Amino acid sequence: MEFKNYYTVLGVERSATQDEIKRAYRKMARKFHPDVSKESDAEVRFKEVGEAYEVLKDPEKRAAYDQLGARWKEGQDFQPPPGWDQGFEFHGGGFTGADASQFSDFFESLFGGAQAGHGYAGAGQMNMHGEDTHAKVLIDLEDAYHGATRTITLRHTELGGGGRPVLKTRTLNVSIPKGVHQGQHIRLAGQGVAGVGQGKAGDLYLEIEFRPHAFYRVDGRDIYLDLPIAPWEAALGASVKAPTPSGAVELKIPSGSKPGSKMRLKGRGIPGNPAGDLYAVLQVVVPVADNAEAKALYQQMKEKLAFNPRAGLGV
């Protein structure tokens, strides 16, 4: 069966108030009433209008339909999600626009129909599990090494007075565990969309994302650091201090090191089982000849070192 967009049937926006929905229903019902309309499909359209209004006039039914509608588009092949029909009870009463038996299979698949031994009604009770939601949380790389507590602000919509959707914000204090990595999800049970009736709220899944860092690049649990060294440190070898997210370390540069060489610090990456590694990528920095003494030193190197950086190019 196809998914029905009840808002399109009534010609209203998803953000319409309950009063706007009521006015739209009355207008459409008059237009397509079989006793007065000359439209060839008046009877079919009249039934569709009554069915749409039966759902959208009730804030609780509307909220349940809106949660489902966030996952489907009009005309898509539709099957109710697993567990959708659990916990629905509609008691007594009748319909505004048509006989209950004339409602579509789509409506019955959502709200049970006569299968449960009840008539459709406006004053029903339904229980439905709330939808899970997803958001990203930005943290510092150092938070993955030590753990942290971060405050996040989330925005969501709820049906307010008159049934109009309103934007609300809420603030959560989130514990960031040591060892989290880029793309990991943290589940906060019960912090998703509120359930309908007695239904439980959904869960909130926070996706971890690192803020750009001035020193480090992240690849999974491994960390990369571009480490500047002087030409003589690369040529002669040296012991230099290098930063890491867990504190500075003493790093021994081998003599004859070339630009772009990687030095691996095992286990100095993001903590875990196993922990990642930290790679120091050597970057040789050439001093600037900005005074006479520096220029003289470069002149001596030119004269005393038989060095041609383009020798491998055959020129």
CA distances, 271 to each of 71, 127, 182, 207, 266 (Å): 37, 43, 13, 18, 11
The whole-number pLDDT of residue 257 equals: 96
Q: What is the pLDDT of residue 262?
A: 96
Each domain of the chain, given as residue ranges in start order, spans 6-126, 133-210, 216-304
Same fold, 133-210 and 216-304: yes
pTM of the model: 0.61
**Mean of the pLDDT values across residues 179-188?**
94
Minimum mean pLDDT among 51-55, 110-114, 119-123: which range?
119-123
How confident is the model over 75-96, as pLDDT tens digits? Answer: 556 666 554 543 444 433 344 4
**pLDDT tens digits for 35-72?**
888 888 888 888 889 888 888 887 777 877 777 765 55
Joined together, the tokens standing for residue 253 give 């540069």
Q: What is the CATH class of 6-126?
A: mainly alpha
CA dihedral 203, 208, 211, 215 (to 10 degrees): 160
What confidence score (pLDDT) does residue 209 get? 94
Report how far apart, in Å, the C-alpha atoms of 146 and of each of 84, 175, 178 are: 42, 11, 5
CB 31 within 8 A of CB 21: no
| Residue showing tokens 């959502």 | 110
Architecture of domain 133-210: Sandwich (2.60)
Using DSSP's 3-state secondary structure scheme, residue 233 falls into helix
Pairing between β-strand 238-242 and β-strand 249-253 as defined by DSSP bridges: antiparallel
Question: Among 146-150, 163-167, 182-186, where is mean pLDDT lowest?
Answer: 163-167
Residue 146 is given by DSSP the state H
Range 200-217 average pLDDT:
92
DSSP designation for 288: P
Handedness of CA 30, 35, 37, 40 (dihedral sign): positive
Distances (CA, A) of 62 to 3, 5, 32: 15, 12, 23
What superfamily would CATH give domain 216-304?
Answer: Urease metallochaperone UreE, N-terminal domain (2.60.260.20)
> What is the reported pLDDT for 129?
72
Neighbours of 277 (CB within 10 A): 17
Q: Strands, DSSP E only, in the chain?
A: 88-89, 125-126, 133-139, 148-159, 165-176, 185-188, 204-210, 216-219, 222-229, 238-242, 249-253, 262-265, 278-284
296 vs 168, more confident: 296
Q: What is the CA radius of gyration of the chain?
A: 33
